[in-house]
Structure 1
């Protein structure tokens, strides 16, 4: 059940919903859960949450005039220009706490091929969670399992 909750929290954290998976991840490390499975479920959930952003991005023309849509036309234009400057490799930074969700949204808007999108986002997210696990282990002195 802990892994499912970690997956769901990590998924939500990658979308526009307010969620913080790092706290739960640290708690589960301290409870003695195997590190690989914590890393796996957090990375999978966070990557799939970013895929949701990509799907929304691909539908932006349908949503951009909706009141609830978080991006206006000027922001979309700027984001497209920035994305064109750095290309799909910028999806490696989809893990960033500020702007990462927007990158994955723009990746969808720019119609990055799904395989490239998922691989680049998963690499970035996986490295991020590996780093978070390392920080937790260092801070708590927990042993590797």
Structure 2
């Protein structure tokens, strides 16, 4: 593997890791550029999925160490609203992590799952599955678009 490949995949991992934060990053744009640039699509999906899932689990752990006072102060949420989120998380459980790839709601969902202490291994599994499926579909769409120009 050439140095440029290592840097490319490393950049994809870093961008994917940082994307599920409050930073305005698009891991999909980096992934698209790499696939269009000739990088291995399977490796790109695996690297982006791993990086984005680890970033999402970082959000989960931030929620896990959270306290009621922090939620009320920094997120302007009262206990009643947080209790409704907890009831929702209890109802759907860790499977809700399948939706952590969604824009806008995915990151707060990961934090909420940590806050309500959903099982870490289950959250990690479902989060990885959801993010992997998103990137696999994204790469498939990119490759279909590339075929239009061949």
Given the two structures, how large is their TM-score scaled by the length of structure 1?
0.87
- SS of residue paired to 1:2: helix
Alpha-carbon distance, 1:112 to partner: 1.6
Residue 3 of structure 2 is matched in structure 1 by: none
For 1:63 and 1:2, locate their aligned partners in 2 and report how far apart those are by CA, in whole Å.
41
Query: Is 1:95 aligned with 2:91?
Result: no
CA contact (8 A) 1:58 1:111 kept: yes
For 2:50 and 2:145, locate their aligned partners in 1 and report how far apart those are by CA, in whole Å.
24
Alpha-carbon distance, 1:85 to partner: 2.7
The answer to which of 109-118 and 49-58 deviates more is: 109-118
CA RMSD of aligned residues (A): 2.0
Residue 78 of structure 1 is matched in structure 2 by: 84
- SS of residue paired to 2:19: helix
Alpha-carbon distance, 1:123 to partner: 0.4
Q: Greater CA radius of gyration, 1 or 2? A: 2
For 1:121 and 1:51, locate their aligned partners in 2 and report how far apart those are by CA, in whole Å.
8
Residue 60 of structure 1 is matched in structure 2 by: 66
Given the two structures, how large is their TM-score scaled by the length of structure 2?
0.84
The correspondence for 1:116, drawn from 84, 109, 122, is: 122
For 1:71 and 1:51, locate their aligned partners in 2 and report how far apart those are by CA, in whole Å.
23
The unaligned stretches of length 5 or more in structure 2 are 1-6
* Deviation beyond 3 Å, 4+ runs, structure 1: none
Cα offsets for 1:70-121 (capped at 9, x unmatched): 4633553332232123222111111111311111111111112221111111
Residue 36 of structure 1 is matched in structure 2 by: 42
